Amino acid sequence: MLDWTAVLRFAAEGNPQPARRVEKSADEWRQLLTPEQFAIAREAGTEMPFSSDSCNRFEPGRYACVCCGSLLFDAATKFDSGTGWPSFDQPIAENAVAYRADDSHGMRRIEAVCNTCDAHLGHVFPDGPPPSGLRYCMNALSLRKVEQDATA
């Protein structure tokens, strides 16, 4: 199980290797994504809080990257953070998400990106529920819900 110390270590020293890599040009991503998805996932945007009903949905299943389809989170790790964005306390695998120091907006945060294609997902914070204490605050537009038995 990942904790805040591991997240900070990955952001500072390098992330685990992904199972595969997907790389496309900006034009190729634009052809696959809606303009809103592109702005969030490929240009590190942030959707408005409470703009998706995904925050209030807790059905079984998994969440994949909207860009490359890699599995990122299981619904069993989802919780209601009250922040207006879907929140999880663990990624589906240690190498599913990559971490980057983000000093934008006058503060230090840890950006969470898809480790397969570098899509911006959101940020991770050390104020989640036990036992991990992590809150992966994700943009709903960066995620695609898939069935429990689906694979990337």
In tens digits, the chain (152 residues) has pLDDT values of: 999 999 999 999 999 999 999 999 999 999 999 999 999 999 999 999 999 988 889 999 999 999 999 999 999 999 999 999 999 999 999 999 999 998 887 888 999 999 999 999 999 999 999 999 999 999 999 999 997 654 44
In-domain check, residue 151:
no
* Complete DSSP assignment for 67-99: TT--EEEEGGGEE--SSSS-EESS-SSTTTEEE
In-domain check, residue 152:
no
Q: What is the pLDDT of residue 152?
A: 43
Q: Look at the chain and report how many structural domains it folds into.
A: 1
Q: What is the pLDDT of residue 106?
A: 81
Q: Which residues are catalytic?
A: 137
Q: What is the pLDDT of residue 107?
A: 82
Q: Which domain holds residue 24?
A: 4-146
Q: Are 39 and 48 in contact (CB under 8 A)?
A: no
Name the pTM for this structure: 0.93
Q: Are 89 and 128 in contact (CB under 8 A)?
A: yes
| CATH assignment of the domain containing 126 | 2.170.150.20
Q: Are 137 and 128 in contact (CB under 8 A)?
A: no
Q: What is the pLDDT of residue 149?
A: 55
- Signed CA dihedral, 64, 67, 70, 73: sign only: negative
